[in-house]
């Protein structure tokens, strides 16, 4: 089992930037994929971005394309999104997830998938 802890969230003015990170502990998968999701009250969880085990493939929801960039950390165990040109619509609690592949991470399957506790991101007008 992999334990994940998000960090880097906070309060940012519209147009500003944030970089989130996700620290992994416990059992890890050398070729595991990482993904990020976000959720706001009254709205279902939304996929944001994902990255393959080697960083060669990335995926983004349309609303963040061109603004968010996800990359592997130095150990290539987790994915970290650089979030630019932030707007109030980006305000949410952001969660990282680890799975067997990008398809697995983006699916609704929970077996062999780990989630972080969430990191709040608030964008002011």
pLDDT tens column, 27-44:
665 668 899 999 998 899
Torsion of the alpha carbons at 96, 102, 59 and 73, rounded to the nearest 10: 50
Calculate what percentage of the chain has a pLDDT beyond 70: 92
The better pLDDT of the pair 53, 19 is held by 19
The pLDDT, as a whole number, for residue 75 is 61
**What's the pLDDT tens digit per position in 41-71?**
889 999 999 999 888 899 999 999 999 999 9
Gyration radius of the chain over CA positions = 13
Check residue 56 and give its pLDDT. 87
**Mean pLDDT, the chain, integer:** 90
Distances (CA, A) of 119 to 29, 54, 66, 103, 104: 23, 25, 22, 23, 22
Look at strands 119-124 and 10-13 and give their pairing.
parallel
Give the pLDDT mean for 20-29. 77
- CA neighbor of 68 nearest in space, from 109, 123, 124, 4: 123
CA-based nearest residue to 98, from 109, 118, 114, 77: 114
The neighbouring-strand residues paired with 97 are: 35, 115
Tell me the mean pLDDT in the region 97-120.
93
């Amino acid at each position: 089992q992999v334990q994940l802890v998000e960090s880097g969230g906070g309060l940012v003015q519209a147009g500003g930037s944030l970089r989130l990170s996700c620290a992994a502990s416990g059992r890890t998968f050398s070729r595991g994929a990482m993904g990020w999701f976000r959720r706001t009250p009254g709205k279902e969880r939304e996929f944001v971005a994902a990255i393959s085990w080697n960083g060669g493939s990335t995926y983004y929801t349309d609303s963040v394309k061109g603004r968010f960039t996800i990359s592997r950390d130095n150990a290539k165990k987790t994915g970290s999104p650089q979030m630019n040109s932030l707007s109030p619509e980006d305000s949410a609690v952001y969660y990282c997830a680890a799975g067997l592949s990008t398809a697995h991470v983006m699916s609704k399957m929970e077996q062999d998938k780990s989630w972080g506790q969430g990191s709040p991101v608030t964008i002011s007008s």
